[in-house]
């Protein structure tokens, strides 16, 4: 996985993590003046939808654990504790907290909190499923909460994250719009910035991100805003500006590991690679994320440090397996590693599993296209690359991947255009691939005189071909799945009525929400290859 896509995939995780504790609006026992001030601060932050300071979050967890020793049937406090475990596990990338979170949240549900109209445990389960990258389960838990309390603003952030993970941008935007109607504040502005960024409206995204930062009232909240500004600057290829934002974020929150990893990427582009490698190591110490190890390995490989690169790549596998033991699906990260540094055929199999489970975001589409290209199936890869680049997000890596696939297919005009786009978007988007992009552009040379024949790059018969593809629904070597299936399934989740009550009871009684990801997102034999209709869907 290349550094820009790792960062892109982390953005939604960041936004979701800052709102996990928004489910903790009020908990019993807080009328007691002996309650620790740090725990009370964490509750106040949660009520505003803001991130709590790590020390305050720790105090909140300890306080609720102590309270529940004597009040074991307090459903509301079990929900508070579960949500706090989710946030701590998400923010520190230590998924050992997730089984504890699940036990606490299910305890709250078993005590009847949801039946009494309290949706905190349901929203907590949705947040937990998102943290485990099980977006199908997250959408189900979130929709169940919405049926009970449609005006509860806390459920809309987790629904937006779930639908983004499913690749359903329409429902994700609807959830964000509802959040804006029901709540306000810096974190809501930050989510609006994310929405504009995903649509490719960079100036609007930057303005909203700035507004979110300057209106923040606490250090963790300000750090989240500065991190968002740094990410947006990095995506634009403005590495020096990005470093400034990341530095400021770390001043506000020294534990902000995403700011450390972001600064490492930007420093690579600026030249001081020793400092970048130190930042990666510190980020991994604070939060052992497999994507950080992958980025560090690719940096080492670009410097010819083969032993260090091998160490980091081995670390990727170890961290993925450790997270899997706690119900976390990191197959997207592992697939990106396999595509470029391991076995591309394994990458294809992993991504086919993600696609069948309903995880059809632009990141999965891009990874699938690249993995298929790496196993020599460029023709099968191109629809996925078009799907990834066609949703609005301006990603240098996505453009590079599409350009290389088109180059392999002999579509030299579109290939030149997309590789140029990658380098114009961010000239240093990857320490390994940016140099290869420049070499590819040199090899392609200048376009022929007389101007382009096909401005869109899809050939003169693209309309007819797209229509035929829709009718034929071609398969990819017999693999099952369909790109449009998730949108229909998600719409069905939103509109389900009486028959879903039985499913709700089953979901409450089932094992971890991550387990539900093993089931197909929709029944029927379908193709993993995205149809032309899906590739054009926005």
Per residue in 163-172, pLDDT tens?
999 999 999 9
In contact, 320 and 290? CB cutoff 8 Å: yes
Going by C-alpha positions, the residue among 117, 109, 102 that lies closest to residue 152 is: 117
Share of the chain above pLDDT 90, in %: 67
Q: Is 494's pLDDT higher than 90?
A: no
- pLDDT band for position 458 (cuts 50, 70, 90): very low
Contact 139, 120 (CB under 8 A): no
* Secondary structure (3-state) at 194: helix
Report how far residue 60's alpha carbon sits from residue 62's, in angstroms, rounded to the nearest whole number.
Answer: 5
The answer on pLDDT for 160 being more than 70 is yes
Identify the band that residue 530 occupies on the pLDDT scale cut at 50, 70 and 90.
low
CB neighbours of 103 closer than 8 A, spacing ≥ 6? 82
Q: Which of 136, 190, 178, 166 is nearest to 16 (CA)?
A: 190
* Partners of residue 527 on adjacent β-strands: 480
Tell whether the torsion through CA atoms of 316, 321, 326 and 327 is positive or negative: positive
Angle made by CA atoms 530, 291, 157, in degrees to the nearest 5: 65
279 with 264: CB under 8 angstroms?
A: yes
Secondary structure of residue 82 in the 3-state scheme: helix
- Residues 246/223, Cβ–Cβ less than 8 Å: no
pLDDT (0 to 100) of residue 273: 94
- Would you state the pLDDT for residue 54? 79
* Beta-bridge partners for 480: 527
Q: What is the pLDDT of residue 450?
A: 64
Query: How far is Cα 173 from Cα 164, in angstroms, rounded to an integer?
Result: 9
| φ, ψ of residue 200 in degrees (nearest 5) | 90, 10
Instruction: Give the dihedral of Cα atoms 13, 50, 323, 250; nearest 10 deg.
Output: 80
Whole-number pLDDT of residue 46: 59
Separation between Cα atoms, residue 146 and residue 162, nearest integer Å: 13
Report how far residue 364's alpha carbon sits from residue 331's, in angstroms, rounded to the nearest whole number: 10
Cβ neighbours for 185, distance < 8 A, ≥ 6 positions apart: 48, 49, 50, 215
**Which DSSP letter does residue 456 get?**
S
State the chain's mean pLDDT as an integer: 81
pLDDT of 25 higher than 90? no
Which of 368, 304, 310 minimizes the C-alpha distance to 339?
Answer: 368
pLDDT value at position 460? Answer: 37
d(Cα 274, Cα 282) in Å, to the nearest integer? 13
Mean pLDDT in residue range 341-368 = 97
């Amino acid at each position: 996985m290349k550094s820009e896509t790792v960062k892109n995939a982390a953005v939604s995780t960041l936004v979701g993590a800052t709102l996990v504790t928004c489910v903790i609006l009020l908990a019993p026992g807080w009328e007691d003046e002996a309650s620790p001030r740090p725990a009370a601060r964490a509750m106040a932050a949660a009520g505003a939808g803001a991130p709590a300071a790590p020390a305050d979050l720790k105090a909140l967890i300890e306080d609720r654990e102590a309270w529940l020793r004597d009040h074991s049937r307090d459903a509301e406090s079990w929900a508070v504790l579960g949500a706090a475990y989710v946030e701590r596990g998400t923010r520190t990338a230590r998924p050992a907290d997730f089984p504890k979170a699940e036990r606490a949240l299910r305890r709250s549900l078993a005590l009847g909190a949801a039946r009494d109209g309290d949706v905190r445990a349901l929203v907590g389960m949705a947040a937990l499923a998102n943290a485990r990258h099980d977006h199908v389960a997250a959408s189900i838990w979130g929709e169940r909460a919405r049926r009970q309390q449609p005006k509860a603003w806390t459920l809309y952030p987790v629904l937006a994250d779930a639908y983004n993970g499913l690749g359903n941008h329409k429902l994700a935007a609807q959830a964000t719009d509802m959040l804006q109607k029901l709540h306000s504040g810096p974190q809501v502005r930050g989510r609006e910035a994310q929405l504009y960024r995903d649509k490719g409206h960079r100036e609007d995204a930057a303005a909203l991100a700035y507004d979110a930062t300057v209106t923040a009232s606490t250090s963790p909240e300000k750090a989240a805003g500065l991190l968002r500004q740094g990410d947006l600057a990095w995506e634009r290829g403005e590495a020096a500006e990005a470093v400034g934002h990341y530095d400021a974020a770390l001043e506000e929150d020294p534990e902000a590991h995403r700011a450390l990893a972001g600064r490492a990427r930007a420093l690579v582009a600026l030249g001081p690679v020793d400092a970048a490698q130190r930042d990666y190591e510190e980020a991994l110490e604070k939060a052992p994320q497999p994507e950080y190890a992958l980025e560090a390995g690719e940096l080492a490989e670009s410097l010819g440090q083969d032993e260090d690169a091998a160490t980091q790549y081995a670390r990727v596998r170890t961290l993925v397996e450790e997270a899997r033991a706690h119900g976390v699906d990191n197959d997207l990260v592992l697939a990106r590693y396999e595509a470029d540094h391991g076995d591309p055929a394994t990458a294809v199999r992993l991504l086919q599993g993600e696609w069948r489970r309903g995880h059809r975001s632009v990141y999965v589409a891009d990874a699938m296209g690249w993995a298929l290209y790496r196993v020599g199936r460029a023709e099968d890869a191109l629809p996925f690359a078009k799907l990834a680049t066609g949703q609005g997000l301006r990603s240098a890596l996505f453009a590079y991947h599409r350009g290389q696939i088109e180059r392999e297919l002999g579509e030299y005009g579109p290939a030149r255009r997309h590789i140029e786009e990658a380098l114009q978007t961010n000239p240093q988007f990857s320490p390994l691939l940016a140099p290869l992009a420049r070499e590819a552009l040199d090899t392609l040379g200048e376009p022929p005189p007389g101007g382009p024949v096909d401005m869109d790059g899809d050939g003169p018969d693209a309309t007819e071909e797209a229509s035929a593809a829709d009718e034929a629904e071609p398969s990819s070597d017999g693999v099952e799945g369909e790109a449009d299936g998730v949108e229909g399934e998600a719409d069905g989740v939103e509109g389900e009525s009486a028959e879903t009550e039985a499913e709700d009871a089953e979901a409450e009684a089932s094992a971890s929400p991550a387990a539900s990801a093993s089931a197909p997102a929709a029944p029927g034999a379908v193709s993993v290859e995205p149809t032309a209709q899906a590739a054009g869907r926005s």
